[in-house]
Structure 1
Amino acid sequence: MLENIDVILFRPKYPENIGSVARACKNMGCGQIVLVDPWNWNIDKALPLATHHARHLLDNVRIHATLAEALAPYSFSYGTTARTGGWRKSIQTPEEAAPQIIEQRNTGGSVAIVFGPEDKGLTNDETELCNHLLTIPTTDSLTSLNLSQAVMVVLYECFKKSLTKPFKIAGQPKDRYINHEEREILFSELRETLIDIDYLKPENPDYFMLSIKRILNRVNPRLNEYNQLMGLCRQIQRIVNIAKGRQA
Structure 2
Amino acid sequence: MKHFRVVLSHTSHPGNIGSTARAMKTMGLTRLYLVNPQEFPSEVAVALASSADDVLNNAVICSSVEEALRGTTLQVAMTARRRELTQPLQTPRQLVPELLQEANSGGEVALLFGPETSGLTIDEVRQCNRLITIPTNPDYSSLNLSQAVQVLTYEIRSQLLDDVSYLEKKAPLASHEYLELYFEKLEETLLKIGFLKPYAPKRLMPRLRRLYQRATPEQEEVDILRGILRATLEYKLVADAPASLEQSSKDPAAE
93, 96, 104: which one aligns with 2:94: 96
Compute the TM-score of the two structures, normalised by the length of structure 2: 0.72
Q: Which is worse superposed, 80-89 or 43-52?
A: 80-89
Unaligned 5+ residue runs, structure 1? none
**Structure 2 residue 8 is matched with structure 1 residue 9:** yes
**Mapping 1:97-246, distance limit 5 Å:** 97-163=95-161, 166-172=163-169, 182=179, 185=182, 189=186, 220=215, 222-224=217-219, 226-227=221-222, 229-230=224-225, 232-233=227-228, 236-237=231-232, 240=235
- Give the distance between the partners of 2:159 and 2:181, measured in 1 at CA: 44
Superposed displacement of residue 182, structure 1: 4.0
- Give the distance between the partners of 1:146 and 1:34, measured in 2 at CA: 18
- Give the distance between the partners of 1:166 and 1:203, measured in 2 at CA: 44
Assess, with a 3 A threshold, how the Cα gap between structure 1 residues 78 and 224 changes in structure 2: closer, same or farther: farther
1:95 is paired with a residue whose SS is helix
Q: Which is worse superposed, 237-246 or 62-71?
A: 237-246
Tell me the residue number matched to 1:70. 68
- Give the distance between the partners of 1:230 and 1:67, measured in 2 at CA: 64
- Give the distance between the partners of 2:48 and 2:61, measured in 1 at CA: 20
Tell me the residue number matched to 1:80. 78
Tell me the residue number matched to 1:33. 32
Superposed displacement of residue 224, structure 1: 4.7
Compute the TM-score of the two structures, normalised by the length of structure 1: 0.74
- Give the distance between the partners of 1:67 and 1:125, measured in 2 at CA: 10
Percent same amino acid at aligned positions?
30
| Contact 1:105 1:111 (C-alpha < 8 Å) held by counterparts | yes
- Give the distance between the partners of 2:95 and 2:225, measured in 1 at CA: 50
| Contact 2:88 2:131 (C-alpha < 8 Å) held by counterparts | yes
| Contact 2:182 2:222 (C-alpha < 8 Å) held by counterparts | no
| Contact 1:81 1:122 (C-alpha < 8 Å) held by counterparts | yes
Assess, with a 3 A threshold, how the Cα gap between structure 1 residues 84 and 233 changes in structure 2: closer, same or farther: farther
- Give the distance between the partners of 1:23 and 1:131, measured in 2 at CA: 27
| Contact 2:87 2:130 (C-alpha < 8 Å) held by counterparts | no
1:20 is paired with a residue whose SS is helix
Q: CA RMSD in A?
A: 4.0
Superposed displacement of residue 59, structure 1: 0.9
Superposed displacement of residue 115, structure 1: 0.9
Superposed displacement of residue 185, structure 1: 4.5
- Give the distance between the partners of 1:110 and 1:34, measured in 2 at CA: 13
1:142-190 deviations in Å (ceiling 9; x for gaps): 2132222211111122223334x845343246865897x9499479749
Aligned length: 235
Matched residue type, 1:145 = L
1:158 is paired with a residue whose SS is helix
